[in-house]
Amino acid sequence: MNIRKTWFSFFVCSFFYFLANAQVATEKEVDIYNMVVAKDGSGDFMTIQEAINAAKGFPDKRVTIILKNGVYREKVEIYEWNNRVSLIGEDREKTIITYDDYFDKLNLGRNSTFHTPTLLVQGNDFYATNLTIKNTAGEVGQAVALAVNADRVLIENCSIIGNQDTLYTTGEGSRQYYKDCYIEGTTDFIFGQATALFENCMIHSKANSFITAASTPEGMPFGYVFMSCTLTGEDGLEKVYLGRPWRTYAKTVFLNCSMEDHISAEGWDNWSNKEAEVSSFYAEYKCKGTGYKPSQRVSWSHQLNESQAERYTVENILGNRGTPDNGDGKPWYLNFD
């Protein structure tokens, strides 16, 4: 009997020793610089946050996380120590990150808005492509889909979908580049203090309201710049404003953009802040479409001349300050490959 117990104990111990070592071996097989997330279990992780949590903090090279097609219902946070992260979807229409938090649901006080993002990016040198990022709360007030509080960020070929406060761009002095994206919402659906360039994006309004609410810090040369974007709206809209100042020194400029007739003839609103009419800067240059009515814009906005418009280049707006040294001399927004 004692011999049987001894063999049984030996078997149990051996079994659990095998499992423990098998788990260690499995973990060692994950390349923390190149990970795959797949809902069907075929990747390294089944959720995006698991991959983020497994990534090396303050890495010495880029961390690439491939997202296979699927609907990822989760709140995702790219922490401040998760710099140099790339989230690369398999297909823009089929790789979806979604959640439904909103102000009243969270009920965390006056700053509840900032707790609502589906995807929150706080690590510098972040890159995302081929993704759809949604807040599906509906028309229930403030509900952020994507919040970016980081410097040197490129969001390319992504759809950012919500209603009020869809995209929060923040971080004083931070530079963010949104290229070939689709962004939709209702009220102030692009808002914040970052210097943000939107190039070749579709900006879609779902209600008579305001597209932008910049809070550009005083003294910054650029705030929001829209280049060669297309502004569209739901059928029946006729009173959509290009922007209003969340803070007094807001800056927003549209260059060579196409505007449909949902855009209000006045173009801009002062948000009941007369001081902003002097201290903010709202301007357009060579736009087109039935919504572009320069002669009817509010008197305190601007139509740029050619020499003024020449300042608005990708290089001037985004700069190259603080780029991690990779030895090739390229500006930061060309360093994500």
pLDDT (tens digit, 9 = 90+) per residue, 274-298?
999 999 999 999 999 999 999 999 9
For residue 48, give the nearest of 76, 29, 27 by alpha carbon. 76
Q: What DSSP element (H or E) covers 190? A: strand 190-192
Distance CA 34, CA 315 (A): 30
Task: Indicate which residue of 188, 235, 261, 325 is catalytic.
Answer: 188
- At 302 the pLDDT is 98
- What architecture is domain 34-334? 3 Solenoid (2.160)
Per-domain boundaries in the chain: 1-30, 34-334
In the structure encoding, which two tokens stand for residue 269, read together? 């609103």
44 is known as an active-site residue: no
- At 335 the pLDDT is 86
- At 330 the pLDDT is 85
Query: Could you tell me which residues come within 8 angstroms of residue 260 by beta carbon, excluding any fewer than 6 positions away?
Result: 231, 232, 233, 289, 290, 291
180 is known as an active-site residue: no
Given a cut of 70, the residues of the chain with pLDDT beneath it are 1-28, 322-328, 337
3-state secondary structure of 292: coil
Q: What DSSP element (H or E) covers 136? A: none
Distance CA 133, CA 96 (A): 6
Task: Indicate which residue of 101, 125, 151, 165 is catalytic.
Answer: 165
Amino acid at 42: S
Distance CA 250, CA 248 (A): 6
For strands 182-185 and 202-205, give the pairing: parallel
For residue 97, give the nearest of 161, 25, 156, 41 by alpha carbon. 161
